[in-house]
Amino acid sequence: MTAVVTFDGFTKSYGGDTVVQDLTFTVEAGSVVGLLGPNGAGKSTAMRGLVGLLHPTAGSARVFGEHFAALPNPARRVGVHMDGLGFETGITAARHLDIYRLALGAPRSRVDEVLEQVDLTAHAGKRVKKYSTGMLQRLGLATALLGDPELLVLDEPANGLDPGGIRWLRGFLRNFAARGGSVLVSSHQLAELEQSVDEVVVMRRTVLFRGPLDSLTRGGDSSLEEGYFDLIDAAAGGRRNA
């Protein structure tokens, strides 16, 4: 399989504080990979490094074999939705998407297509400030889809979604991968993520586990949650005893 995302020794420090250390893993074409870890584990830092929002102290993070900034019109290949990439709340969702599609050089038809994909067509004319948290998550995903990308990088996309929305997101991610797309997604919704991902990377500053979901759950004999907390608790114990 082809590596769409490659972290190779990715390390990020701020002053004397190392937030991510020697992060190494890949995302293969057509797969959904869950990036897991407690708050402060470095997940968002790694994702921001991948899409060029920060530079690593050491190592590298590449998409399609290149640094994100080196890709011509990167949003045509990589769709990004993460905290901190906000919206102008005084405009409608349709206008927000139209501004972004103009920047991408995408046809006007893409606005209608992505609104339909995320089930926001009926709310396209509503001002963003009147959107619920779940609707904002869908709008963020619609924005990421405008360029018809091959890869989605999603930071906590299930936050604020109701049970129906979470179920919809699961189906969306699996269908995206089935069509040949790839997904790197972080989430704290472990039970839900277990039904969506092919592979898992568990980190707490550095990698604690990387591999197929079945390896962490012992072929289904345990849950993702159980495997995850076994790793996190062992890592915490190791730090206390160090």
Tens of pLDDT along 41-72? 999 999 999 999 999 999 999 999 999 999 99
Mean of pLDDT over the chain: 92
Question: Coil, strand or helix: which one is 150?
Answer: coil
Residue 217, pLDDT above cutoff 70: yes
The three-state secondary structure class of 201 is strand
Q: Give me the residues paired with residue 32 across strands.
A: 183
DSSP at 147: T
β-pairing, 182-186 with 32-36?
Answer: parallel
DSSP string, 34-98: EEE--TTSSHHHHHHHHTTSS--SEEEEEETTB-GGGSSSGGGTEEEE-TT----TTSBHHHHHH
Residues 6+ positions from 41 with CB-CB distance below 8 Å: 203, 204, 205
pLDDT of residue 192: 86
pLDDT at 1 over 90: no
Q: Residue 20 forms beta bridges with which residues?
A: 12
- Mean pLDDT score, 209-222: 92
Give the helix/strand (H/E) hosting 117. Answer: helix 109-117
The 199-204 sheet, strands edge to edge? 78-81, 151-155, 182-186, 32-36, 199-204, 206-212
pLDDT (mean) for 73-80:
93
The yes-or-no verdict on residue 218 having pLDDT over 70 is yes
Give the pLDDT confidence score for residue 86 in this predicted structure: 73
pLDDT tens profile 166-193: 999 999 999 999 999 999 999 888 988 9
Fold of 1-74+182-242: Rossmann fold (3.40.50)
Q: Return the pLDDT at 85.
A: 64
Q: What is the mean pLDDT of residues 188-215?
A: 93
- The model carries a pTM of 0.93
Cβ atoms within 10 Å of 217's Cβ, excluding its own: 18
Instruction: Report pLDDT for 16.
Output: 85
Question: Mean pLDDT, to the nearest integer, of 129-135?
Answer: 92
Confidence at 241, pLDDT banded by 50, 70, 90: very low
